[in-house]
Structure 1
Amino acid sequence: MHKIIVCDHIHQKGLDLLTNQDDIQMENLAHLQKDELLKLLKDADVIITRSSTNVDEKLLTCAKNLKAIIRAGVGVDNVDIDSCSRKGIVVMNVPTANTIAAVELTMAHIINAVRNFPGADAQLRIQKKWKREDWYGTELKGKKIGIIGFGNIGSRVGIRAKAFEMEVITYDPYIFASKATDMGIAYTENFEDILKCDIITIHTPKNEETKNMITAKEIKQMKEGVILINCARGGLYNEDDLYDALKSHKIRWAGIDVFNKEPGTDNKLLDLDNVYVTPHIGANTLESQEQIALQAAQAALEAARGANYPNALNLPVKEADLPKSVKAYLELTQKLGFFCAQANKGAITSVHLNLEGEIGKYADSLMAFALVGVLKSSLGDKINYINAQFIAKERGIEMSVKTKKNSNSYKNLVTISLATAQESLSASGTVFEEDIIKLTDINGFNIDIEPKGRMILFKNTDIPGVIGNVGNILGKHSINIADFRLSRNSNKEALALIVLDSQISENVIQELRGIPACISIRNVTI
């Protein structure tokens, strides 16, 4: 018998599915205090949690037999994934069950913003006033909506916006334009096109690239009276800048379901009368809760039986099962993929992995890590080591792995070549002394540096004075250089990889791009 313990409340249909299995012993302990719960996890093969149970070292120490954890929902902030990986425990979530709920909440916020239903309701119901003249709204028909992020949720918002006869345009540098245009939705590679819209809604994961994606700078370029919606992740819009623009009515209305710090009961946005707020209820429909419970229960059954690990967020590898050097190569490969995806942004057409040396024995695992690195910046938590290859195939990405028994340069060498519709880029790396990770080559330029931190990749014509120009611009903006590595090729070109102590703004990047010898500049953070 496989033992599954439900630690937090889920819909009854999920419990029924678990109960009606001959080979499963299910215990619903969601009613217990957490200290009592921990005492009863010793024999659990799989646990199902929500946000109320912290999966930390304390829990993992108690659950000695644990093979898998199911997070019944999307977010896994309460799960120590690294500790789970070290112990060989698979962590899974349920990322799509609440898609329709999130889409419809977005549409509700949009409609509220143009018709002010809460205000009209409060005046009539609470103040007992019948003043129709106070409630002139606007119509969605003919308005232009900009959708940032065109995944499962963003694309469905686009479909519904078209049903309202809106003009729809999307910005998502990680998809092919045809994904939008085949649906009759305009696609742009220029983010400024989104800023010109009447309504803007965001549907991206939260990462270094998307955090503070909308700030005072972007708001300044927007229309007077623009409407902003965020039902995705807190912090995608800078809340201080959003507050100022709402107060000045540059932004006419904002619909907000998520906050940078939650619970958001003391958020100053709540003080404004042109903000519609909900307490992070994107997944709160009866249908989505039922689907979350059923999908979580089904995932728990498959994991308990060892049949499958749907939506796994980590690779179930115990530290004791791998040499220390191999684990370092897994980390290196993922970092190389992450590096290439940031340095060569766009819709990916191919990913090729070349392995030289004995590390080629682990080709399958290394390819999974490479794909997670490549797709992480565009998909966030939706990508994992189990589904990476499937998603890559679904997106039409060509993949290959080549191995070579010996390396001409190092004991082992990993090279990732990533192509987008615009260009191709390759990066190589190796590991010294079992755990010292080094980037050794970028597009034929020899580099010796640890792939870590905030970096600028600066390519230029190899003429005197360029390094001085770069240093002067960075110094002028009080940006300190932590490391500077330079390489040259036979084509009279140079490539500098510059590690910075602080984040670099787009204005500074544009200034560096203005150096006459500059061929290209890329911003990468690992």
Structure 2
Amino acid sequence: MAPRVLVSDKLSPTAVEIFKDRGIEVDYLPELGKDKEKLLSVIDQYDGLAIRSATKVTEKLINNATNLKVVGRAGIGVDNVDIPAASRRGIIVMNTPFGNSITTAEHAIAMLFAVARQIPEANASTHDGKWEKNRFMGVEITGKTLGVIGCGNIGSVVAMRAIGLKMHVVAFDPFLSAERASELGVEKVELDELFKRADFITLHTPLTDKTRGVIDKDAIAKMKKGVRIINCARGGLVVEADLVEGLKSGKVAGAGIDVFETEPATENPLFNMPNVVCTPHLGASTSEAQENVAIQVAEQMADYLTKGAVTNAINMPSISAEEAPRLKPFIKLAEVLGAFVGQVTDEAIEEVEILFDGSTTEMNRRALISAALAGLIRPQVADVNMVSAPIMAKERGIILSEVKRDKSGVFDGYIKLTVKTSEKTRTIAGTVFSDGKPRFIQIKGINLDAEVGQHMLYTTNYDVPGIIGLLGSICAKHQVNIANFQLGRNRPGGDAIALLYLDAPFPPEVLRELRATDVILSAKPLSFDVAA
């Protein structure tokens, strides 16, 4: 029986033809994504779902999708897809990470010009028969400082275009190396420095827990008077109420907003404010970009449904069917090793070394490296996948090295990750036990044996009596249940670590209490995707 695909958002007709040419039945119903109940009632009939941003692939929808095997997002963002729920059901989520980069970057530059010269308001005024030449006094772009928050694929294109306009570009990106910054011709700075110096600020970062509200009232207070802000990335990066206050006070001279906290945005406090240019999420809306992402997502989904090939998957490594049974547990291991370091690292990453020991040297190391890099980068760049992670690492100038070593210890094979930043070096090693589950076996050179859980707490502390009691009593006082508890130290009285496997996320107020003690040096909550 031929696979069946539903296209529930507007895609290029070329995508439909690609599915048909590959022998796949396809229903093109571009308005269905907006009808949640109707979509819910028919989704069980399909093997594949091709979407853009209108369709919300919720856990409820996924639970009804009893035959669904793959969701393809024509575009880079997948925040409208519940990826953990899809992973639990074994549904592959694909995107097209590089199909609309140029288009989105060009829209940001267009918004920058529009705000600098008040073009939309001047246009409306002139059409009304007015000649308000003195009212619309703009500012020049040339010689101004542009602050780019997020200098990855799209941000780097914006930076290069801005340099061509004779702007000085300062960039904040935790993964941007000094070498890559030099290559682009931008000055790498910390976020507060960017706020202090930029005449214009443009955002090109995904929406994550770390980036949500990155521009709020506190950030605006640090900016120059008369700053202009452009957001063509994701709604939620800018706290809209705080931006409104900044505009009213005159601290912010103008804004170009293409994305909103709630979309579709039919009402918004930013609407009709002076020198605020608003567009309805047009960043990727050019005929070229729409065609590119539609073709890509159709080809990727068709390849998977007919051949089993996996490309640009968010939650699935690109591996063959033959090697999957043995490799998949080590893919998960590599990912959690990277995720561990990524969650405890705030500085820019300069070098990554991955050591393969014993049996792991004979595995698909490219897939393992990609998984480790994806885990490492994902805390900062939520949309990264195993295909895009090596490219993103290269773009940021991260030096990657691989070491193979014959079996050197009690384990048949293990993986060790070493990450160097400008301030410190972090190491973590792990293996897979006979149950197929990943385990941490060494952190900071300290040996231990720790199961990987969805919610964990990692602490560094002095090796003094009472640590177990301290951690246990504080957790008990706040009703935090500990499923597993592992300790390690490098020597008696030296550096020590603790790794707690918890039933639920660690509450912030408990973290503050732990950090206030005189023996806990650091305490970091961790989260891992442990779905099979």
Report deviation, 1:106: 0.8
The change in CA–CA distance for 1:302 and 1:200 in structure 2 (over 3 A counts) is same
d(CA) in 1 for partners of 2:328, 2:303? 27
Q: Deviations over 1:411-431 (max 9, x none)?
A: 986543223454321124568
Letter of the 1:424 counterpart: T
d(CA) in 1 for partners of 2:197, 2:507? 30
Letter of the 1:374 counterpart: L
Letter of the 2:198 counterpart: C
d(CA) in 1 for partners of 2:486, 2:334? 21
2:265 counterpart residue number: 264
d(CA) in 2 for partners of 1:32, 1:263? 14
Identity, in percent, stands at 31
- Alpha-carbon RMSD across the aligned residues, in angstroms, is 4.7
Whether 2:66 is the aligned partner of 1:30: answer no
Q: Contact 1:367 / 1:401 at 8 angstroms: preserved in 2?
A: no
Report deviation, 1:223: 0.8
Q: Which stretch shows the higher mean deviation, 280-289 or 257-266?
A: 257-266
d(CA) in 2 for partners of 1:439, 1:36? 42
Whether 2:120 is the aligned partner of 1:118: answer yes
d(CA) in 1 for partners of 2:132, 2:350? 55
Report deviation, 1:434: 5.0
Equivalent position SS for 2:71 = strand
Report deviation, 1:231: 0.8
Letter of the 1:209 counterpart: K
Provide the TM-score with structure 2 as the length reference: 0.77
1:347 counterpart residue number: 349
Q: Deviations over 1:255-306 (max 9, x none)?
A: 1111222223333333633432222221112221122222223323433442
Letter of the 1:302 counterpart: D
Q: Which stretch shows the higher mean deviation, 425-434 or 305-314?
A: 425-434
Q: Contact 1:203 / 1:232 at 8 angstroms: preserved in 2?
A: yes
Q: Deviations over 1:283-339 (max 9, x none)?
A: 112221122222223323433442743312222799xx999x997775554233112
1:236 counterpart residue number: 237
d(CA) in 1 for partners of 2:458, 2:224? 33
> Any unmatched runs of 5+ in structure 1?
none
Report deviation, 1:232: 0.6
Letter of the 2:205 counterpart: T
The change in CA–CA distance for 1:433 and 1:269 in structure 2 (over 3 A counts) is farther
Whether 2:5 is the aligned partner of 1:5: answer yes
Q: How does 1:415-430 map to 2 (within 5 A)?
A: 415-420=416-421, 422-429=423-430
The change in CA–CA distance for 1:392 and 1:306 in structure 2 (over 3 A counts) is farther
Whether 2:138 is the aligned partner of 1:141: answer no
Report deviation, 1:512: 7.8
1:102 counterpart residue number: 104
Letter of the 1:92 counterpart: M
Report deviation, 1:342: 3.3
Letter of the 1:149 counterpart: G
The change in CA–CA distance for 1:525 and 1:261 in structure 2 (over 3 A counts) is farther
d(CA) in 2 for partners of 1:143, 1:181? 19
d(CA) in 1 for partners of 2:304, 2:214? 37
The count of residues paired between Structure 1 and Structure 2 equals 507
1:255 counterpart residue number: 256
Report deviation, 1:193: 3.6
Q: How does 1:124-163 map to 2 (within 5 A)?
A: 124-126=126-128, 128-163=129-164
Q: Contact 1:70 / 1:93 at 8 angstroms: preserved in 2?
A: yes
The change in CA–CA distance for 1:209 and 1:100 in structure 2 (over 3 A counts) is same
d(CA) in 2 for partners of 1:453, 1:225? 43
Q: How does 1:380-391 map to 2 (within 5 A)?
A: 380-381=382-383, 383-388=384-389
The change in CA–CA distance for 1:497 and 1:159 in structure 2 (over 3 A counts) is same
1:224 counterpart residue number: 225
Task: Give the one of 46, 49, 52 matched to 2:51.
Answer: 49
2:338 counterpart residue number: 337
Report deviation, 1:393: 6.5
1:286 counterpart residue number: 287
> Any unmatched runs of 5+ in structure 2?
528-532
Report deviation, 1:137: 0.9
Q: Which stretch shows the higher mean deviation, 112-121 or 370-379?
A: 370-379
The change in CA–CA distance for 1:14 and 1:361 in structure 2 (over 3 A counts) is closer
